[in-house]
Amino acid sequence: MANAAIGRSVPRKEGRSKVTGEIQYIDDLSFPEAIYGTVIRSPVARGKILGVHFEGDFPWDEFIKVTAEDIPGENRQALILNDQPCLAVDRINHREEPVLLIAHPNKHLLIEARKHVRIEVEEETPIYTIEDSDAKKEVIWGEDNILKKYRVEKGNVDDVWASAHKVIEGEYRTGAQEQLYIEPQGMVAKASPEDGVTVWGSLQCPYYIQGSLEVLFGIPADQCRVVYAATGGGFGGKEEYPTVIAGHTALLAWKSGKTVKMIYDRAEDMAVTTKRHPSLTRHKTAIDKDGKLLAMDVEFLLDGGAYATLTSVVLSRGTIHAVGPYLCPNVRVNARALATNLPPHGAFRGFGAPQSCFAIERHMNKVARAAGLTPEEFRNRNFLNKGQRTATGQLIEENVDMQGLLTTALEKSDYHAKKARFAKENVGQRIKKGIGFATFFHGAGFTGSGEKHLASTLGMEADRNGRIRVLAASTEIGQGANTVFSQVAADTLKISYDAIDIEKPDTEKVPNSGPTVASRTSMIVGNLVAVAAKQLLAKLREAQLLGDEYTPDQFNSACDQYIEKHGELKVISEYSQPPGINWDEENYQGDAYGTYAWAAYVAEVEVDTLTYVTEVKDFVAVQEIGKVLHPIMAAGQIEGGVAQGVGFAVYEKVVWRDGVMINNQMTNYIMPTASDVPEIRVFFEEEPYAYGAAGAKGIGELPLDGSAPAVINAVEDAMKIDIDFIPMLPEDLFELIESAANNGQGEE
């Protein structure tokens, strides 16, 4: 048999084409006949559209113009609810909302001309904050501005407060965060009533786009073809938003009869596409005299922006992760997503969990202090263990050892020695050093019955030389999907990694293996690869072409003979839910996830008390993620996620003015550079998950949850000050310290 590929760091499948520049992203594909399209957007955040005026000295009759009236099907973005139009008709609900589309063969003329389309609007009062929306200062969505709400109830918190040893309250905020994939979004479309619609693009979820095109054009799915182009990063930013661009580009193509290309520039991409939902979390926690959790009452609020998009699902994940990996007999989580007149917020790696995880991990430090315990001792007394139940009542049946992970992380980071040393050495120094940690978990795959409803399928076919082609809609966005699928296929079939090819996602060629989201691709779709490979072997064995033991050559010859006789060798695998998963969507009770990844992260920081700049100097990430399929790529996922989490904590601030991001440039929205990131040291523990590919759990989103609170807990250690919000930029820390000094808090 060939060398096992799983567990070995084989070369990335498409690696060579990436280092030579050969691989083609959407803007690299050649469509010589294409004309260029763009979007005319709302100049205000809320109001009534009175008219559209084409001004300036432009040959307007040469331009293709598309308004809502040109939409052949329904004017809506088909996602979860039907509240968002593809093009605004009478009302405007956020800045930069698409109102009409124009196209022209001359790109430069198009860019100039778009500035001279004036949308006449009667402005109305917008709302921009969670508090204003919650207080219904203006009702801008439904009857009460509530896009979605959930309630999780375990025991009864209200029975506890009176008799508790201590009750500790806190309020925590997180800001919007831009995904900042380095490749801006873009699409190319061809469309006509005769041939249907075809779009090529930078995207995570081909079948989401197909579903929306069906509605927009009123044509059957098989006339809506979506083709993936190499995608330069997604992080959730290319989960639902590409559907919007695909619709716009296809409408211009449909009306013009021409191929239309629409590539956002960076400024447009940052101003108009989705970001991480801003959050506000209120915690009230009761403990007994031994520092054990008695009750946790959480109010978890998200700013959804102007339309529902995926907000309900983001809120769901944030809600389920809101009390962290802790055991508490009485829990209540009241979660609400509120509408504001900001552009809709959306999917971003972590999907609600980084928001609620920041709150709980800051709050646990505060509660530990009230209990008179160190942060680690307090957590050790309260970690969730095997055989205990989560907030939703899920019985933990896997071998979880949070205390062990934390101990390892503290050892690897030399936490105790450093903490003692910093406390001594910081006195009188301009640079204050600190060390802090966060402990957390992340549910892998879709929540509850999500995977069952998705019912993903995947194809696999062999050619006469025994080369295998995996047919999946899961997209390679840098995370290594192509490589992992190839490893799993190779090892299951006992052939070489090099004998596996991955079909480019194209709805005409690949079945729907589900969206590329939720840390599900390796774990769930990877397992579908294994199932398909077993089906393929079974076919060869049923045909008596292959024995139990075989060489790669015998496998190749078996494929050849099978195809000779039957014409093709192809199988389709289908998802089947692991046994024992029961989820009550109505009451938010039961098995929220098939499995969880568990982690303890330690950050070390230096804070300059003259400039208020926080630098992260060292970072230790310890996690249990099931079987590690590809050690180098798995570490790469964690490192990239930690860097984004560091950005979330101390670099990346979306500055809003009048409902729009005004620092929509890489020059003034600052993500960590090679000079800014700490040394990130990654350690894995492995508890194979029986229903994940070769024992894998999901890992993609995990590192976003705990990185930011670890960093801020370290800043707390350095500065001896409570910081209850992120992003915390130097000016924010300055303001906080000034106001704390005025109120008599703080070190000096």
Partner 1 sequence: MVSVAKVNFDCTINGEKKTISAYPMARLLDVIREDCELTGTKEGCGEGECGACTIMIDGELVNSCLVPALQADGAEIKTIEGVATGEQLHVVQESFVVNNGAQCGICTPGMIMAALKLLEEHPDPSPDDIRHGLAGNLCRCTGYMKIFESVLAACQSMKQEV
Give min distance, CB of 645 to partner 1, in A.
9
In DSSP notation, 612-638 reads --EEEEEEEEEEE-BS-S-HHHHHHHH
Residue of the chain from 134, 183, 701, 717 that contacts partner 1 (CB under 8 A)? 183
Residue (665 or 745) nearer to partner 1, CB? 665
Q: Segment near partner 1 (CB under 8 A), from 165-173, 205-213, 471-479, 517-525?
A: 471-479
Q: Is 291 or 727 the residue whose CB approaches partner 1 more closely? A: 727
**Binding letters toward partner 1, positions 608-647, x by CB under 8 A:** ------------------------xx-xx--xxxxxx---
Question: Angle CA(294)–CA(158)–CA(336) in degrees, nearest 5?
Answer: 95
Question: Of the two residues 406 and 680, which places its CB atom closer to partner 1 in the complex?
Answer: 680
- Closer CB to partner 1, residue 667 or residue 743? 667
Q: Is 242 an interacting residue with respect to partner 1 (CB under 8 A)?
A: no
Q: Which is nearer to partner 1, 153 or 615 (CB)?
A: 615
* Residues between 642 and 671 that touch partner 1 (CB under 8 A): 642-644, 665-667, 671
Quote the least distance from Cβ 671 to partner 1, whole Å: 6
Q: How far is the CB of 319 from partner 1 (least distance, A)?
A: 28
> Contacts with partner 1: how many residues (CB under 8 A)?
58
For residue 242, what are its two tokens? 């590409």
Q: What SS3 state is found at 297?
A: strand
State the minimum distance, in angstroms, from the CB of residue 404 to partner 1: 25
> How far, in Å, CA of 474 to CA of 462, rounded?
19
**In the block, which residue shows the tokens 């001279």?**
116
Min dist. Cβ of residue 229 to partner 1 (A) = 11
d(CA 673, CA 652): 12
- Find the shortest distance in angstroms from Cβ 198 to partner 1: 21
What six digits make up the tokens of 321? 């992760």
The distance of closest approach from Cβ of residue 638 to partner 1 in the complex, given in angstroms and rounded to an integer, is 8
Strand order in the sheet with 47-54: 91-92, 47-54, 117-123
- Name the phi and psi angles at 656, rounded to 5: -100, 140
Instruction: Report the nearest approach of partner 1 to the CB of residue 241 (Å).
Output: 16
Q: Tell me whether residue 470 or residue 634 sits nearer to partner 1 (CB atom).
A: 634
- Please, what is the minimum distance in Å from the beta carbon of residue 534 to partner 1? 29
Contacts with partner 1, 120-159, as mask; x by CB under 8 A:
----------------------------------------
Q: Which of 17/465 has CB closer to partner 1?
A: 17
63, 181, 307, 562: which one binds partner 1 (CB under 8 A): 181
- Shortest Å, Cβ 53 to partner 1: 21
Provide, rounded to whole angstroms, the least separation between the CB of residue 631 and partner 1: 10
Q: Which 546-575 positions form the footprint of partner 1 (CB under 8 A)?
A: none
Nearer to partner 1, 152 or 635 (CB): 635
Buried b (16+ CB within 10 A) or exposed e, 535-571: ebbebbeeeebbeeebebeebbbbbbbbbeeeeebbb
Comparing CB distances to partner 1, the nearer of 354 and 393 is 354
Q: What minimum distance in Å lies between the beta carbon of 424 and partner 1?
A: 28
Q: In the complex with partner 1, which residue's Cβ is closer, 18 or 386?
A: 18
Maximum CA pair distance of the chain?
Answer: 85
CB of 228 to partner 1, least distance (A): 13
Residue 10 neighbours by CB under 8 Å, 6+ apart: 483, 486, 487, 497, 630
- Residues 199-238 interacting with partner 1 (rule: CB under 8 A): 230-235
Question: Which of 107, 118 has the CB closer to partner 1?
Answer: 107
User: How many Å separate Cα 117 from the centre of its chain?
Assistant: 35
Contacts 24+ apart (CB under 8 A), 673-678: 676/615, 676/616, 676/646, 676/651, 677/616, 677/643, 677/646, 678/603, 678/604, 678/615, 678/616, 678/617, 678/618, 678/619, 678/646
Contact region with partner 1 (CB under 8 A), list: 282-290, 300-308, 368-376, 476-484: 476-484
Which position among 163, 673, 742, 743 is part of the footprint of partner 1 (CB under 8 A)?
Answer: 673
CB of 11 to partner 1, least distance (A): 5
Nearer to partner 1, 62 or 585 (CB): 62
The least distance separating partner 1 from the CB of residue 19, rounded to whole angstroms, comes to 4
State the DSSP string of 370-401.
HHT--HHHHHHHHB--TT-B-TT--B--S---
What residues between 496 and 555 interact with partner 1 by CB under 8 A? Answer: none
Find the binder of partner 1 among 47, 184, 325, 350 (CB under 8 A): 184
676-715 positions binding partner 1, by CB under 8 A:
677, 679-680
Tell me the window of 326-334, 506-514, 533-541, 672-680 that interacts with partner 1 (CB under 8 A). 672-680
Phi, psi of 632 (to 5 degrees): -70, -40
Q: Which is nearer to partner 1, 376 or 476 (CB)?
A: 476
Q: Enter the tokens of residue 95.
A: 């800045």
Question: Toward partner 1, which CB reaches closer, 145 or 479?
Answer: 479
One of 85, 375, 478, 594 touching partner 1 (CB under 8 A):
478
Q: What character string, x for contact with partner 1 (CB under 8 A) and - otherwise, covers 98-117?
A: --------------x-----
Collapsing DSSP to helix, strand or coil, 200 comes out as strand
Helix (H, G, I), strand (E, B), or coil: what is residue 555?
Answer: helix
Least Å from the CB of residue 685 to partner 1 = 20
Write out the binding residues for partner 1, residues 353-392 only, by CB under 8 A. Answer: none
The neighbour count for residue 297, using CB atoms within 10 Å, is: 21
CB atoms within 10 A of CB 367: 27
Letters for 6-35 (x = contact with partner 1 by CB under 8 A, - = none) are: ---x-xx-xxxxxxxxxxxx-xx-x-----
What's the Cα-to-Cα distance from 273 to each of 71, 81, 99, 115, 199, rounded to whole Å? Answer: 22, 18, 15, 19, 19
Contact 47, 94 (CB under 8 A): no
Q: How far apart are CA 496 and CA 465, in angstroms?
A: 13
Q: How far is the CB of 349 from partner 1 (least distance, A)?
A: 10
Confirm if 225 and 253 have CB atoms less than 8 A apart: no
Neighbours of 529 (CB within 10 A): 31
For partner 1, which is the closer residue by CB, 140 or 635?
635
We find the least distance from the C-beta atom of residue 179 to partner 1, in angstroms, to be 8
If the CB atoms of residues 28 and 553 are measured against partner 1, the closer one turns out to be 28
In the numeric block, the tokens 């670099």 are attached to 651
Crossing angle for the helix pair 702-719 and 353-371, to the nearest 10 degrees: 40
- β-pair partners for 152: 333
Query: Environment class of residue 657 by beta-carbon count within 10 Å: exposed (0-12), middle (13-18) or buried (19+)?
Result: exposed
8 Å CB contact between 276 and 177: yes
What residues are paired with 389 via a beta bridge? 395
Characterize the bridge pairing of strands 146-154 and 330-339.
antiparallel
Among 69, 220, 387, 674, binds partner 1 (CB under 8 A): 674
Residues that bind partner 1 (CB under 8 A): 9, 11-12, 14-25, 27-28, 30, 112, 179-184, 230-235, 265-266, 477-480, 632-633, 635-636, 639-644, 665-667, 671-675, 677, 679-680
